[in-house]
């Protein structure tokens, strides 16, 4: 009996590790595609009204959102809310504005460095935040 329990636990552990390694590619219209961990599912609820992609695993408290906005919208926000002195009208300024807002809404316990990258030929910035 003891051997069968150990064997069952070993099989479950190996299966769960394989589940975490699987990835799926999600495409959003003709805008972009993104590779996501297999344990995520489409959110089914609105996490952010402006997000074009929302995936989550509530049990693991793991969420992925993609917000894509026209550059003209960002410029308008900076002017309308008198933020042009605080944030540059470029990708770095936009990401700093979004992150500052997120830091006010979430208690951040861990934050990665921002990584500059290219997605579909366009500049992008990636960041991982752990918080509650």
**The pair of three-digit structure tokens given for residue 29, joined into one six-digit string:** 């219209």
Stretch 95-115: mean pLDDT? 91
46 backbone φψ class: left, alpha, beta (φ>0; ψ -120 to 50): beta
CA 124, distance to chain mean position in Å, is 13
Going by pLDDT thresholds of 50, 70 and 90, the confidence category of residue 102 is confident
Tens-place pLDDT, residues 29-60: 888 888 999 999 999 888 888 889 999 999 98
User: Over 70: is that where the pLDDT of 75 sits?
Assistant: yes
What is the number of alpha carbons within 13 Å of residue 95 lying toward its C-beta? 14
Prediction pTM value = 0.66
Task: Mean pLDDT check: name the lowest of 1-10, 50-59, 97-106.
Answer: 1-10
């Amino acid at each position: 009996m003891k051997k069968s329990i150990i064997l069952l636990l070993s099989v479950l552990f190996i299966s769960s590790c394989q589940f975490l390694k699987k990835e799926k590619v999600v495409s959003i219209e003709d805008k972009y595609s993104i590779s996501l961990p297999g344990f995520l599912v489409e959110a089914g609820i609105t996490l952010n009204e402006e997000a074009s992609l929302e995936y989550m695993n509530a049990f693991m408290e793991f969420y992925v959102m993609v917000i894509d906005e026209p550059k003209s919208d960002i410029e308008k926000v900076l002017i309308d809310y008198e933020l042009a002195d605080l944030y540059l009208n470029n990708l770095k300024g936009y990401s700093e504005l979004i992150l500052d807002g997120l830091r006010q809404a979430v208690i951040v316990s861990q934050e990665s460095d921002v990584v500059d990258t290219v997605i579909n030929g366009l500049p992008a910035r990636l960041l991982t935040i752990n918080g509650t």
